[in-house]
Amino acid sequence: MRHDIEFDAEGVTLRGWFYEAEGVNGPAPCVVMAHGWSATRRIYLDRFAEVFAAAGLCVLLWDNRGFGDSDTAPGKPRYEIDPWEQVRDYQHGISYAQNRSEVDPERIGVWGSSFSGGHAFVVAAIDQRVKAVCGQAPFVSGRDTYANLARVNNLVIDPHLLAADRRARAAGEPPAMIPVIGTDPGQVTGIPTPDAHEFFTEARAGMAPEWHNEVTLRSLELMRGYEPGLYLPLITPTPLLMIVASHDGLTGGNLAASAFATAAEPKQAVFVPGGHFAAYTGPGFEIASAAARDWFVRHLA
CATH number of the domain bearing residue 280? 3.40.50.1820
Q: Are strands 130-136 and 177-178 parallel, antiparallel or unpaired?
A: unpaired
What backbone phi and psi angles, to 5 degrees, belong to 242?
-120, 125
In a domain, 188, yes or no: no
Domain assignment of residue 92, given as a range: 2-151+227-300
Q: Quick check: helix, strand or coil at residue 4?
A: strand
In a domain, 248, yes or no: yes
pLDDT recorded at residue 186 = 76
pLDDT recorded at residue 154 = 43
65: left (phi over 0), alpha (psi -120 to 50) or beta: beta
In a domain, 159, yes or no: no
Domain count, the chain: 1
In a domain, 174, yes or no: no
Residues 158 and 146: beta-carbon distance below 8 Å: no
In a domain, 210, yes or no: no
In a domain, 178, yes or no: no
Alpha-helical (H) ranges within the chain are 45-54, 83-98, 115-126, 142-152, 159-170, 194-206, 217-224, 253-260, 282-300
Sequence-separated (6 or more) residues with CB below 8 Å from residue 110:
31, 32, 33, 90, 94, 120, 123, 124, 130, 132, 133, 134
In a domain, 179, yes or no: no
- 249-299, pLDDT tens digit by residue? 888 888 999 999 999 999 999 999 999 999 999 999 999 999 999 999 999
pLDDT recorded at residue 151 = 53
Residues 144 and 260: beta-carbon distance below 8 Å: no
The stretches in the chain having pLDDT less than 50 are 152, 154
In a domain, 196, yes or no: no
